[in-house]
Structure 1
Amino acid sequence: MAMVVVAIVGGISTLLLVLGRKFCYRELRFATSNFADEGLLGVGVFGKVYLGFLSNINCSIAVKRITTNSHQGVKEYESEVTTITRLRHRNLVQLIGWCHDNNEFLIVYEFLPNKSLDYHLHREPCLLTRDTRYKIAMGVASALFYLQEEFDQCMLHRDIKVVDHGQGSQTTEVMLGTDGYIAPECLDTYKAIKESDVYSFGIVALEIASGKKAIALIERNGQRFKTKLVEWVWELYGKESLFDSADPRLSGNYDMEQMERLLLVGLACAHPNYFDRPSIMQAVDILSFKAALPMLPPEMPVPA
C-alpha cells in the first residue's frame, strides 16, 4: 500500500484497539536494535522501514517508523492501519500490529525474506524462469483486482513497482508513485485514479517480460542511451518485432503466446491515455487466456 499514517487524537486510540496487536515502543525498539541502520530495509515518503525480530514468538518483522513532522504523514498512519488491517489476499503483505507510544507512530508487518522482484529480476544471473515470471505477473494483477474490485471499497495503491523503497528509486514530491511508473495524468493533475495503478502494473509487466528497468538502458548502433521502457517496447511493436523486447537471458525459452500476452497487456495498461487502458479485470482475463489480445496502434499515442 502507499505509505499511510495519522495523528492519534480523540477516539482514534479506541478505534485502533480492535485492529491487530498493540505493541509498546520499548518492545519494538528492542526488536530493531534501536532502529539500527544495519537493519534498514527501505525509505519511503513518510518514514523508514526496519528489520526486527520478536524473540518471544521467534518471528522476523518489518517495522515502519513514521516521520511525524507533517500533518499528511500523521493522516497516512491512521489510514494505513485502519484500512490494511482489513485486507485479506495471499499476494498482499499482512499487517501484524501498531504502536503510538512515546510520540512514535509505528506499523508492524510480516517480514517477507525473499527480497523484492527487482532483486531477482535484475541480478546476474537471473534465475526467474518463464513460468515464474508469468505467475508473478498474474499474482500482481490478482492483488490489484482485489484492491479495485473485490475489497469493500476501491483501494488505490499509488506506488506499484518492482523495486523496494530506498533501493535506487526516487519517489516524487506529488507522492503518487516512483519515477518511471507514474501515469501521465498523475503528473498533470497530482491525483491518482484506478487507471493510474493499471498504468503502473503495465510497466511492471513490461519489466517482467523484458528484464529491463522502467527507465531502460538501450543499446543501438553501438551507443547506449536511456529511454522509457514502454516507449522502446512500443517502438518494437510498431516494427512488428515485439519479441525482440523479450529478456534475452531467457534464450528464447518461453511460451510465445504467454510472452505476447504479457507484453501487449503491458503496453495496453501503460497506454498514455487513461481512458484507453483496459480495466484490471480485462487485464487478468487477457493474461488468463479468457479474452482476446488488445488492439493497439503501431505508434505510441501522444497523451491527450
Structure 2
Amino acid sequence: MPNGSLDAHLFGKKNPLGWSSRYKIARGLASSILYLHEEWEQCVIHRDIKPSNIMLDSNFNAKLGDFGLARLMDHELGLQTTGLAGTLGYLAPECISTGKSSKESDVYSFGVVTLQIATGKKQGDLPDTNSHTGLIEWVWDLYGNGELLSAADGKLNMEFEPKEVECLMIVGLWCAHPDRSLRPTIRQAIQLLQFEATLPRLPMKMPVPVYNAPITSSLSSGDQSITHTINEMGR
C-alpha cells in the first residue's frame, strides 16, 4: 500500500488529501464493509474500523485491514457477546455498555471515520479545547445550526463539492447515532453517498445515549491495550 494509511494523511505528516480522494475513500470503505456484512457466506464484524486500519493503494483506493479483532457470525443474528474490544473514540455506546458487537457497531465506527475524513479532526482537535463536546456532538451542533459546511477541513482550502461534504457529514452523523436501532445499514449509507436516496432529517441536537451498568474489560487505545473500568456514563 504505497500511500500508507488514511490516518497518516488526515493527522500525520503525509500530504493532505484533496476532496475527491476523500470522498472516494469513504465510498470505498463503505463498499468494503458491505462485503463483510452482507456479501460473504458469513457476516464478518470487523470491530476496529479506524483511519490507521484503512490503507491506500497507489490510486488512493481504500483497503480495510487488520482483522485481528474481527468475528464471524450468522447473517440473521443481532448483537453478539464477543468481549469488549476496539479503540476508544470509535466504539459504539452499546459496545461499551454491553460488551456486544454487531453490524450496527461497525456502522457507528464508519460514521466516526467519515466525520474525520470530512473535518480532518480527531477528538482532541476541536476548536474549543476546554469543552467536553466530542467530535460527533460538535458536528451535530453545527448541523442543527445550519452551519455544517463550516466543519469542513481547513486544509481543503474551500476546494470541495458542497453537496458531497454535506452528504458525507450527514451520513456520518446518521451512522454514529447513539441509538443503534436508528442507524442505517451500510447499504443504505452507500445509497446516500451515491445520491441514490434522500438524505435523512436528523434531530437538531444529538440524542442523549442511555447506558447500562458498568463493566470491566480490555480496550485498545492506539497501539496499546489498556484495562479500562467503564463507569456508567452520560454525555
Settle same-fold status: TM greater than 0.5. yes
Provide, for residues 246-298 of structure 1, a one-character-per-residue CA deviation record: whole Å limited to 9, x for no partner. Answer: 10111111001100110000000000000000110000000001011121000
Q: Which residue of 2 aligns with 1:217?
A: 125
Q: Which structure 2 residue ranges, 5 or more long, are not aligned?
A: 55-68, 70-82, 211-235
Q: Does 1:295 align with 2:184?
A: no
- State the shift of 1:164 in Å: 5.0
In 1, Cα distance between equivalents of 2:124 and 2:177? 17
Q: Does 1:139 align with 2:48?
A: no
Compare relative contact order (CA 8 Å, sep 6+) and give the higher one, 1 or 2: 2
RMSD (Å) for aligned C-alpha atoms = 1.9
Q: Which residue of 1 aligns with 2:7?
A: 118
Alignment of 1:1-304 (within 5 A): 112-124=1-13, 126-163=15-52, 174-213=83-122, 215-220=123-128, 224-225=130-131, 227-304=133-210
Work out whether residues 141 and 280 of structure 1, in 8 Å CA contact, stay in contact via their aligned partners in 2: yes
Larger Rg: 1
Query: Where in structure 1 do 4 or more consecutive aligned residues deviate above 3 Å?
Result: 223-227
Q: Which structure 1 residue ranges, 5 or more long, are not aligned?
A: 1-111, 166-170
Work out whether residues 217 and 224 of structure 1, in 8 Å CA contact, stay in contact via their aligned partners in 2: no
The letter for the 2-side match of 1:216 is G
- State the shift of 1:177 in Å: 1.2
In 1, Cα distance between equivalents of 2:86 and 2:198? 30
In 1, Cα distance between equivalents of 2:50 and 2:113? 6
Equivalent position SS for 2:127: strand
Work out whether residues 11 and 121 of structure 2, in 8 Å CA contact, stay in contact via their aligned partners in 1: yes
Equivalent position SS for 2:125: strand
Work out whether residues 84 and 96 of structure 2, in 8 Å CA contact, stay in contact via their aligned partners in 1: no
Work out whether residues 50 and 109 of structure 2, in 8 Å CA contact, stay in contact via their aligned partners in 1: yes
In 1, Cα distance between equivalents of 2:124 and 2:167? 21
The letter for the 2-side match of 1:162 is P
Equivalent position SS for 2:107: helix
- State the shift of 1:122 in Å: 1.4
The letter for the 2-side match of 1:120 is H
- State the shift of 1:114 in Å: 2.6
Work out whether residues 91 and 109 of structure 2, in 8 Å CA contact, stay in contact via their aligned partners in 1: yes
In 1, Cα distance between equivalents of 2:184 and 2:22? 21
In 2, Cα distance between equivalents of 1:121 and 1:284? 22
The letter for the 2-side match of 1:217 is D
- How many residues matched? 183
Provide, for residues 210-231 of structure 1, a one-character-per-residue CA deviation record: whole Å limited to 9, x for no partner. Answer: 0001x232224xx655642111
- Over 3 Å counting, the alpha-carbon distance change for 1:115 and 1:216 in structure 2 is same
- State the shift of 1:176 in Å: 2.5
Equivalent position SS for 1:155: strand
The letter for the 1-side match of 2:104 is E
In 2, Cα distance between equivalents of 1:254 and 1:114? 21
Provide, for residues 156-178 of structure 1, a one-character-per-residue CA deviation record: whole Å limited to 9, x for no partner. Answer: 0000001259xxxxx9xx54210
Work out whether residues 10 and 117 of structure 2, in 8 Å CA contact, stay in contact via their aligned partners in 1: yes
